[in-house]
Amino acid sequence: MSWIIFYLFAVFLDLYSFQSFKTIFKRKTSRSLYFIVSWLVLFYFGYSYIILKNESNGSLPLGLLIAFYTPKFILVLFNLLEDLFRLIIFIYKKIFKKNDSVKLIPRRKFISKFSLGLASIPFLSLNLGMIWGKHNFKVLSYSLFFEDLPPSFDNFTITQISDLHAGNITNLKKLEHAVNLINSQSSNIIVFTGDIVNNNADELIPFLKTLSKLKAKDGKFSILGNHDYGDYKQWPSNQIKRDNFNRIKQYQKEIGFNLLLNEHKYLEKDGDKLAIIGVENWGNGFIKKGDLNKASSKINPKEFKILLTHDPTHWEKVVLKDKVNYNLTLSGHTHGGQFGIEIPGFIKWSPVQWRYKYWAGIYKVKNQILNVNRGLGTTAVPGRVGVWPEITVITLKRSNII
């Protein structure tokens, strides 16, 4: 029943938004093309999700549906406003002029042209985001100062990547470019902060060789994200789901990641130590397997700590309230919303900020710092507009000022 309602609503959008289209385009071939393209997109979406039961959580059919039907909401809005105006004029003339021959005034081309021009902005942006935006990798560099950083780790560098969502990768050469870009940073360590797949371990198979080329002087560390547990698809049995989860963990080892499951590892240099702590996923409305106490139970509270936790909600709800100070926390999960407007020093906005208080970039509360990586891949919609795929490079520096 829900699918029937969805398609009835889509047909309504098509027919009503078409009123703007036919006001401008008089040729029958142009009008026919409007419906042919629209209904091909609807058929492709329905075939993928209803017949094939697509469970990739980030498919092209969904992206095309959003790209083609979001602009139609704009056309419908303008048509509704114009029809309301036309109706008011019609009623006014009918009552006060008492003329039986009064008819609705025709739609104005100016309004139709304006609404089509406005609707073309999200249409072009979304399609460009799927073609180009999702591969527009950006390296964002930060120097972070800590007064309690061990002297031997002054100028220590970390490259953070997150949210690969391997099932959505469609271009191996673009991934190879991203790997080369990561390696060119020559960082001490690389950390991956969760969601390496959408659901299936098999998503990683075509990319294992490329991802295994990631290089860092002092090691590569990773954690799990909410998608890595396979909770977003129906499995034939619990055993098959467990086998899939175990293969995801095994593939991370094959890539060369030291997967941290509520545990920690020490890096040592010239007698100084730095703790890398990794917890499983913890988030509001998501799985809560992250155990901060277990992960840091054998760490001296005074030691410098870098925490890897997938969802920044964990930092807000748990980490900041913990009696132990976690100097630097690295998260992902939000993707920065994948769509937004970011102009450094001027504006930073995305719809995702209505859900997440900490959603992209650097945040500081007292003497604790969080970085939320915008993600390397995509989910839900296979595109990015204004919020680009991110490679974060953080340089740790000693300072007497926090």
Examine the domain organization and report whether 56 and 200 are in the same domain: no
Length of the chain: 402
Residues facing residue 329 across a β-bridge: 307, 370
Rounded CA separation 384/210 (Å): 23
**Is the separation of the CB atoms in 385 and 339 below 8 Å?**
yes
Report pLDDT digits (tens) over 305-318. 999 999 999 999 99
Instruction: Give the chain's domain count.
Output: 2
Rounded CA-CA distance 126/377 in Å is 16
Instruction: Mark 18-54 as b/e (b = at least 16 C-beta within 10 Å).
Output: bbbbebebeeeeeeeeeeeebeebbeebbebbeeeeb
pLDDT of residue 58: 56
**What range does the domain containing 351 cover?**
136-398
On whether the CB atoms of residues 220 and 257 are closer than 8 A, the answer is: yes
295 and 215 within one domain: yes
Q: What is the pLDDT of residue 344?
A: 86
Three-state SS at 329: strand
Q: What is the pTM of this model?
A: 0.90
The ranges of the chain with pLDDT < 70 are 1, 54-58, 97-102, 400-402
Query: Do 370 and 331 touch, CB atoms closer than 8 A?
Result: yes
140 shares its domain with 261: yes
Q: Which amino acid belongs to residue 291? A: D
Residues 127 and 192 in one domain: no
The number of C-alpha atoms within 13 Å of 93 and in the hemisphere containing its C-beta is 13
The predicted pLDDT at position 327 comes to: 97
In this structure, are 124 and 144 located in the same domain? no
Same-domain check for residues 23 and 99: yes
pLDDT at 89: 83
